[in-house]
A and B are shown apart, each in its own frame.
Chain A
Amino acid sequence: MRVSLFITCYNDTLFPETGRAVVTLLERLGVEVEFRAGQTCCGQMHANTGFRGEAFSQAKRLVRLYADAEAVVIPSSSCVAMIRDQYPGLMEELGNETLRKQFAALLPRVYELSEFLVDKLGVEDVGAYFPHRVTYHASCHGLRALHLGERPFRLLGKVRGLELAPLANLDRCCGFGGTFSVKNSEVSSAMLAVKLQDVLGTGAEFCTALDNSCLMHLGGAMHRQYAGMKTIHMAQILASTEEHPAEVLE
């Protein structure tokens, strides 16, 4: 099976180690990975800030770029949610029949990473080793838009050496919200403070998620506060083995 990795704009720029981990992980599971160099952004930032016209152009680009892909894997819940929840409306408004058909055909082949592993490949034990205490932050998009449910827990449950620390108020937003974190930075920070109490209260060494955006928010505060916890995308935990431990940012 050959999958196309859509790394997303912010992972490409800020979290390349997540992309490398996805490649390592998928190849270890016998999947061929391709990377289409024309990729940029799914348009979520624009759509969610009210720049719908601008989001149109990015949606068109993405659909055309991946029209012939066997499967597209995206290590970001919120970008998958953008494609699943917002693209149908955008496509309808655009009124381009060819594009709409291309999108309709592509949509069932778009996977969030944990969906691809559990649903498409049917694996839960990916052969990972990560000997640390870890807590999982279920991002709002993963939880309420993609309904990832038990998938992340099943994957983490099979990681050797990993001790999972349950997070209280799992369904509560961390306060990132894209441009919300800047437009309403004070409220966003207040939400972050509340979330951090729960996250730090787990006593974990790492907080993981399937969205680097939430982790950038949580991790930024942890770093600012010398909180003694780090963030790591779940792909990096799943890619980690005895021979090749996860890349962890200092």
Chain B
Amino acid sequence: MSGVAGHPMRPPGEAENRLAGGPVLPPQQAKTRLAGGPVLEQPVLDPALAPPFPKAALPVLRNPQLRKNVAHAIDVIQAKRARLVAEKTDWQALRASASRIKDEALQNLGAYLEQFEERCTAAGGTVHWAADAADARRIILELLREEKAGEVIKIKTMTSAEIQLNPYLEAAGIRTFETDLAEIILQLGEGEPSHIVVPALHVNRSQVREIFARRMGIENLSDEPEALTAAARNYLRQKFLSVPTAISGANFLIAETGSVVVVESEGNGRMCLTLPRTLITLAGIEKVLPRFQDLEVMLQLLARSATGERMNPYTSLWTGVTPGDGPQKFHVVLLDNGRSSILAGKTERQTLRCIRCAACMNSCPVYRQTGGHAYGSVYPGPIGAILTPQLEQMRHAQSLPYASSLCGACYEVCPVKINIPEVLLELRSQVVNQERRQAGRIFDPMYVGLRVANVIFSRAWLFHMAQWMGRIGLRLFTGKDGWIHSLPSVGAKWTETRDLRGLPRQTFHGWWEKNREQGLGNREQKNRD
């Protein structure tokens, strides 16, 4: 299936998606530079502009503080998660159940979205359909202009980061105020998120102190957590009380009731969802669940997987508008932006089950070393490695499917059982199929090597000859100790940090033929090529 029934969603045109429909500039220029310049490093989180993963990872690999911050943060969350998962005797049944619920929703996505639209509209909400990022940005800007809004408060939403909403609104003259503590740190420090649940996990306390002191104009601010949160609270209170328009994301949409669910820890979300006059919720189309009852499964899995809590502190649930209570104008913007095309792939489809808990990145040994910025997208880690290239229709981020050692830890922890390694392999094969069509492939030693190896493995005698030639060829590089310390070309990528044992004089099959085959008769001969 491609496109959502009744709402044909065209694949976003590349240029249109990124730049048309509003004054969104490449990230370097988009930000309004603030006095004193940026405090945090400036990674590129636009897949079209980001360097390939191995290159983007280098600055982090060389940064001991950053690696320590990332490893410590995810080790803590992962340990808490493991403890709380262990106490659930029905964890595997919950996972199975959640993956079935999501699959059911995805298989009937068009129908469930229409049902959501109908019920939400009946309850006084307005539903908008956005085919791509440009559409969504335009819709939101128009809604804000109708409200004559000069300022807007926001609850942490990765989807708004995906469509680069803040720089777009700022360029259109609307000031955005993030209200999640981590998002405030990033916004004031002009940084970028490196994790989808704890986006500022790469920033340490003294950096936070410096950002707050400078941007909030507080002298003698200490770096004690209490002092920092108090500073944030003072800053936020004014915004909550004075800004009448809010933007949120959504964790779940309920088709049956037309309700929206937001799950959070700090209470800033509850403020944004109840105090303003107008609320705009931006949600990916894959967030829909068929029934209210499905939350019973999802909420048990989400908090445990995401933050290692039995229950998150704030779960907000609302349906349309209620006269005299909460926002009196409510809009939902349903975003496709490449999602419906992911549905078409049998293996790839499971990507859309994701409930953004980040357990995969917390368990990932690659993410543990690189942090999130290396992924060049607002969605880092294993889920980002499969989601980003697909949202980009495989036109960008082709290095991401290779940013994994296929260790399988992500699949093991995923609460909705996304077989991330399986999807990675599918995407790798799509990348190779792109390479097959490129003339430059003949200069890529890895590509040529694997093609040649395939021929070699097709006949045992060719394989044996290649082993012999390899041994002769490598003799030149093999030291007196029988080890190889330095290789040219692709081999250098190995020997930069590791030695390689030289090829032994005798292969195993050579030994077998010499020592074992005589006397056994010709029984094995029939199995030879």
Contacts and interface: CB of A to CB of B under 8 A. Distances in A.
Given A38-B460, A194-B369, A182 B493 contact: yes
Considering residues B407, B501, B509, which has the most beta carbons from chain A within 10 angstroms of its beta carbon? B407
B457 interface: yes
Given A35-B512, A61-B458, A172-B365, A46 B450 contact: yes
B504 interface: yes
Interface in B427-453: 427-433, 446, 450-451, 453
A102 interface: no
Contact of B365 (A17, A40, A86, A175): A175
Nearest to A18: B508
A216 interface: yes
A21 to B, nearest CB: 10
B498 A16 contact: no
A181 interface: yes
Contacts of B482: 249-250
Interface stretch (A104-112, A202-210, A219-227): A219-227
Contacts of B54: 183-187
Main secondary structure of the interface of B (DSSP, over half): helix
Nearest to B402: A183
Interface in A192-233: 192, 194, 216-217, 219-221, 223-224
Interface in A140-185: 140-141, 144-145, 171-173, 175-185
Contacts of A192: 497-498
Contacts of B529: 38
B470 interface: yes
B425 A36 contact: no
Contacts of A16: 504, 506-508, 510-511
A191 B405 contact: yes
Given A9-B457, A249-B501, A250-B482, A184 B524 contact: no
A7 B513 CA distance: 14
A38 B490 contact: no
Contacts of B458: 40, 57-58, 61
Given A54-B450, A186-B54, A219 B501 contact: yes
B58 interface: yes
B262 to A, nearest CB: 33
Contacts of B512: 19, 23, 35, 37
B425 A48 contact: yes
A34 B523 contact: yes
A51 B481 CA distance: 35
Given A50-B431, A186-B54, A221-B497, A177 B369 contact: no
B202 to A, nearest CB: 16
Given A221-B498, A224-B498, A54 B504 contact: no
Contact of A187 (B57, B406, B427, B509): B57
B409 interface: yes
B155 to A, nearest CB: 33
The size bracket of the interface on A is 35 or more
Contacts of B404: 177, 180
A40 B527 CA distance: 12
A58 B483 contact: no
Given A35-B516, A50-B432, A191 B501 contact: no
Interface string A36-49: 11111101011111
B467 interface: yes
A11 interface: yes
Contact of A224 (B430, B457, B497): B497
A94 interface: no
Contacts of A19: 508, 511-512
Contact of B408 (A54, A140, A185): A140
A185 B496 contact: yes
Given A171-B409, A173-B409, A184-B53, A37 B450 contact: no
27 contacts: A12-B467, A13-B467, A14-B504, A34-B523, A35-B516, A38-B527, A38-B529, A45-B453, A48-B428, A50-B433, A51-B450, A51-B454, A54-B454, A61-B458, A173-B409, A177-B404, A178-B406, A180-B402, A180-B405, A182-B446, A182-B494, A187-B53, A187-B369, A190-B61, A191-B366, A194-B369, A220-B498
Interface of B: 53-54, 57-58, 61, 67, 365-366, 368-370, 401-409, 411-412, 425, 427-433, 446, 450-451, 453-454, 456-460, 463, 467, 470, 481-483, 485, 490, 493-494, 496-501, 503-504, 506-513, 516, 523-525, 527-529
Given A189-B496, A221-B497, 19 more contacts: A14-B501, A20-B508, A35-B524, A37-B509, A37-B527, A40-B463, A41-B453, A46-B453, A47-B425, A50-B429, A54-B450, A57-B454, A58-B454, A180-B402, A185-B496, A187-B370, A192-B498, A224-B498, A249-B482
Interface of A: 7, 9, 11-20, 23, 34-41, 43, 45-52, 54, 57-58, 61, 65, 86, 140-141, 144-145, 171-173, 175-192, 194, 216-217, 219-221, 223-224, 249-250
Which 7 A-B residue pairings sit nearest by Cβ, starting from the closest?
A: A177-B405, A50-B428, A220-B498, A19-B508, A50-B432, A173-B407, A16-B508
